[in-house]
């Protein structure tokens, strides 16, 4: 009875101002009417809680969809970037062919040595091996075959200028298969052993995503902040900021 009186004391001002007809609560004693009023309020509170739960669920679904959209956009950007790199490499090779054919063999060797100072190897078989592995990913979509191709390349050409990129692509392929521990090893190799690699920022971001997937939020937060600190104006930094906001 004390509970009923307290509820009534809390609700009486609103009830009086609303001027609701008492007849809507039914007939009977004052206690019966108060019980009816309490049941009405309980039902209203339950309905409000159900609506809040639905809103929370919808917000979670929207956040998940936004994360997937950002991830897909990032993957597309990475593919487009690699295609641009391949086109640039082809243009360089085509541009160097006429000069090489018009020079004596000794001069041709010097031209090849000069090309070794760029990001591309002077060893044709090395270039072909790397290009074949890349084409398994970008052109043929044979991801299962690309993994052993890159592994074989690293084993055969451990000092190649393409090694950091080979580790990066291995990490990407294994990450796509949710083989996070294996992918982490390749991404970490790029981060620690190849500080000048243009793939290092993406590898740091991927290490953060793997840590988040493995429920290591502290490590994920540390890696995302490292991406932002070291690559402040990059696409990877923008994605790291968004992931930090949702962490």
Residue 192 lies in a domain: yes
92, exposed or middle or buried, with CB in 10 Å at 0-12, 13-18, 19+? middle
The tokens for 29 are 């004693």
Nearest to 24 by CA among 32, 33, 16: 33
Q: What is the pLDDT of residue 80?
A: 60
| pLDDT computed for residue 79 by the predictor | 64
Length of the chain: 247
Residue 77 has what pLDDT? Answer: 67
Tokens at residue 201, please? 């920022």
| Residue 142 and residue 239 in one domain | yes
State whether residue 126 is helix, strand or coil.
helix
Residue with tokens 């072909």: 128
For residue 140, the 8-state DSSP code is: S
Q: What is the number of other CB atoms lying within 10 angstroms of the CB of residue 183?
A: 23
pLDDT for residue 84: 57
Domains of the chain: total: 2
| pLDDT number for residue 106 | 31
Rounded CA-CA distance 143/108 in Å is 37
Question: Most distant CA pair in the chain: distance in Å?
Answer: 115
In a domain, 92, yes or no: no
Give the mean pLDDT per block of 10 residues along the chain (247 residues): 44 44 57 80 83 80 76 68 57 43 31 32 73 89 92 94 94 92 96 94 95 94 96 92 90
CATH code, domain with 214: 1.25.40.10
Does the CA dihedral 239-162-164-117 come out positive or negative? negative
- Domain span holding position 222: 124-247
């Amino acid at each position: 009875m004390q509970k009923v009186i307290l509820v009534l004391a809390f609700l009486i001002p609103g009830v009086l101002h609303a001027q609701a007809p008492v007849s809507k609560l039914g007939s009977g004693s004052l206690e019966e009417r108060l019980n009816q009023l309490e049941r009405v309020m309980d039902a209203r509170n339950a309905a409000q809680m159900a609506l809040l739960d639905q809103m929370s669920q919808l917000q979670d679904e929207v956040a998940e969809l936004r994360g997937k959209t950002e991830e897909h956009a990032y993957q597309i950007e990475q593919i487009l970037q690699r295609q641009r790199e391949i086109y640039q490499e082809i243009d360089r090779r085509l541009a160097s062919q006429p000069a090489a054919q018009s020079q004596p063999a000794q001069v041709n060797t010097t031209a090849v040595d000069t090309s070794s100072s760029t990001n591309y190897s002077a060893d044709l078989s090395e270039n072909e091996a790397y290009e074949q592995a890349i084409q398994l990913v970008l052109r043929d979509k044979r991801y299962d075959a690309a993994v052993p191709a890159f592994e074989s390349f690293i084993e055969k050409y451990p000092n190649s200028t393409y090694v950091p990129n080979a580790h990066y692509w291995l990490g990407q392929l294994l990450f796509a298969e949710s083989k996070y521990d294996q992918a982490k090893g390749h991404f970490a190799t790029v981060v620690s052993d190849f500080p000048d690699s243009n793939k290092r920022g993406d590898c740091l971001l991927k290490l953060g995503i793997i840590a988040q997937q493995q429920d290591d939020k502290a490590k994920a937060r540390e890696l995302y902040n490292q991406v932002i600190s070291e690559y402040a104006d990059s696409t990877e930094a923008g994605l790291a900021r968004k992931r930090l906001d949702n962490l």
